[in-house]
Amino acid sequence: MKTLSILLAFFSLIGSGSLWAVPAESKRFTPYFNMNMMQGAYLPTKGDFFSGANVNMSVGLLSKIAESHSIFALYDLGFNGEGFRFPDTKEFGSKELSHNFNGEYRWQIFDWFRVRPGANYGFTYSRTAANEVWGEGLYDSKTTGGQLAADYSFDFFNRNAVFTFLGAYRVVKLPNYSDIIREFQGLSSNSELACCLKDTKAMEGTFSFTWNKAFGKIRYLINDFDKEKVVESNGKYGTTAQKDTRVIVNGGFQGKLWIFETSPNITYTQHRSNQNFLLFKSATDIAPTFASSYYNHNELGFAVPLYMNFTKKTALSGVFDYKRREYTNRQPRDGANNFISGELQKNNMVTLTAGLRRKLNEISAMSITYSSVIATSNNKFEKYLPYNYSGQSVAIGYHLTY
């Protein structure tokens, strides 16, 4: 609970908000600061009690260098500690620390049209096992890239509306990643392939629309792998490079009635990959089972949060969150690690959350939340990842926005 002690010390230091008292905002420079810190205790039905922390912090500065020209710089820090996970993704104990730096030039060409070229650099440290050292994780990554966005503003039924298009290109490097099975085989050609297998060229095209208090977005993402090849039915890697694509569609709105506020949203994801899969029953298995298009899936998720503002400083909240993933080709496995013919794998997760939020002053607030999670899947092989479990969690949070 060391992180909780740090949080409490931080609360006592800035709880009054006096440290953030500043002169009137400059017309030329506009600072931005947002931080959310959570410390939680988790009790799953399978496994031991554990605790985990989450920290998300953004520090930015908007500088107006001329009437129609400005520069925006943003630094994001994210830490995702231990916690409940959606089935078939990560272990409860995995951790991730990320740093991202973004710079954007904004040119207001017309009152109704703006362009925003930008560049970004980021690196992520991950720990997927207890014996991994920060900075030496298997999935540590570095990202470098650029983007170009354009905003078109107009009135629609006497309300402001904005169309935005964004195109981005990024180079993602995983310097520590290696394929243990290929290295174990000891073949020179495979040893060469064992390095940098997950390095990719990532491309993104996004179209979004906001109007009044509603929004919608469509994203198309492509990951072209530099060295990772597609495994074939003969049990060997071929000459075709792996390529993954995702289409993500999401939308939502905000509404308010009396003391009640809500912001429901829905997301649909279609993931496609040309990569196949070999199921080894053991390290000495010489005849693995081949599974084609193993990673293709469709995913639907929606969340319905509800807030009840009893006073200007106190609010109760409740959230219903549901997510379902259906694989298009993957068969589930039984407890003995055998594919179950005639079925397709399906994963579900429902999270119910209730909380209390209390404003300390104009810029800070504290919260306490209780969550109940139920995860189910027709996949019964759970030696490495949890698929079927339920659990409870309680978390204390501190929130600061300036």
- Domains within the chain, CATH numbers bracketed: 2-11+32-401 (2.40.160)
Mean pLDDT of the chain, nearest integer: 90
pLDDT tens profile 175-223: 888 775 555 455 444 545 556 788 999 999 999 999 999 999 999 999 9
**Residue 180: what pLDDT?**
58
> With contact defined as beta carbons under 8 Å apart, do 70 and 64 qualify?
yes
pLDDT class of 163 with cuts at 50, 70, 90 = very high
Q: What is the pTM of this model?
A: 0.89
> With contact defined as beta carbons under 8 Å apart, do 43 and 51 qualify?
no
For the residues 387-394, what does the mean pLDDT come to?
96
Q: Considering just the CA atoms, what is the radius of gyration of the chain in Å?
A: 24
Q: Is the pLDDT of residue 130 over 70?
A: no
pLDDT, greater one: 13 or 170? 170
**Residue 90: what pLDDT?**
86
Please give the share of the chain, as a percent, with pLDDT higher than 70. Answer: 89
**Residue 171: what pLDDT?**
98
Q: Is the pLDDT of residue 146 over 70?
A: yes
pLDDT class of 393 with cuts at 50, 70, 90 = very high
> Position 264: which residue type?
P
**Residue 43: what pLDDT?**
95
**Residue 194: what pLDDT?**
56
> Residue 114's CB: how many other CB atoms inside 10 A?
19
**Residue 375: what pLDDT?**
97
Segment among 282-286, 331-335, 339-343 with least mean pLDDT = 282-286
**Residue 14: what pLDDT?**
45
pLDDT tens profile 245-270: 999 999 999 999 999 999 999 999 99
Segment among 84-98, 129-143, 230-244, 313-327 with least mean pLDDT = 129-143
pLDDT tens profile 353-388: 999 999 999 999 999 999 999 999 999 999 888 899
Q: Is the pLDDT of residue 310 over 80?
A: yes
Q: Please name the residues in contact with 36: beta carbons below 8 A apart, sequence gap of 6 or more.
A: 54, 55, 56, 57, 397, 398, 399, 400
Question: What is the distance of C-alpha 278 from the center of its chain?
Answer: 28
**Residue 182: what pLDDT?**
59
